[in-house]
């Protein structure tokens, strides 16, 4: 089964890029400078930032549904991000190298299945979840810290 993994759109975050620390604090964001790789995965580019790159850590509503599963969590976005990533039938390295929690949702936004696995095992799980016609989309989360990593859809 064909699938696509996409990064978040840049538009909701770009007004924060380049703001001073006081303005970021007022917006609930914190600037970080990556000091290791991996360690700072950008949710727009779906790549780990290079050491020395700046990112913003902020809260993001990744599941804006009117169900008990509505959810927000902290994410990193690169301040230089310009174009959302799109990986068709391919798992990006930023996911393949991490322990993931993958959650399957129906069209109403109700979680109907979930699994924890090493990211290198993600593609077969996507296929298994999408074999269920009730699954509308998937969310991958970094299992250790719980933060949203990426959305996965049928291609």
Q: How far is 141 from 43, CA to CA, in rounded Å?
A: 11
In this predicted model, what pLDDT tens digit does every residue of 9-64 receive, in sequence order?
Answer: 999 999 999 999 999 999 999 999 999 999 999 999 999 999 999 999 999 999 99
- At CA 86, angle to CA 80 and CA 92, rounded to 5? 85
Confidence check: pLDDT of 131 > 90: yes
In this predicted model, what pLDDT tens digit does every residue of 78-99 receive, in sequence order?
Answer: 999 999 999 999 999 999 999 9
Q: How far is 155 from 85, CA to CA, in rounded Å?
A: 14
Check residue 1 and give its pLDDT.
79
SS3 104: strand
**Ordered alpha helix ranges (H), the chain:** 21-26, 93-96, 122-130
Instruction: Name the pTM for this structure.
Output: 0.94
Longest CA–CA separation in the chain, Å: 48
Check residue 12 and give its pLDDT.
97
């Amino acid at each position: 089964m064909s699938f696509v993994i996409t990064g978040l759109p840049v538009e909701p975050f770009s007004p924060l890029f380049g703001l001073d620390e006081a303005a970021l604090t007022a917006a609930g964001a914190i600037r970080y400078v990556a000091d290791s790789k991996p360690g700072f995965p950008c949710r727009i580019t779906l790549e780990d930032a290079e050491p020395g790159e700046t990112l913003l850590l902020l809260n993001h509503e990744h599941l804006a549904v009117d169900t008990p599963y509505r959810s927000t969590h902290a994410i990193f976005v690169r301040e230089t991000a310009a174009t959302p990533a799109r990986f068709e039938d391919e798992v990006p390295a930023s996911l393949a190298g991490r322990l993931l929690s993958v959650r399957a949702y129906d069209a109403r936004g109700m979680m109907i299945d979930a699994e924890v696995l090493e990211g290198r095992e993600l593609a077969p799980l996507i296929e298994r979840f999408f074999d269920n016609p009730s699954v509308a989309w998937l969310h991958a989360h970094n299992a250790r810290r719980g933060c949203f990593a990426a959305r996965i859809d049928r291609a």
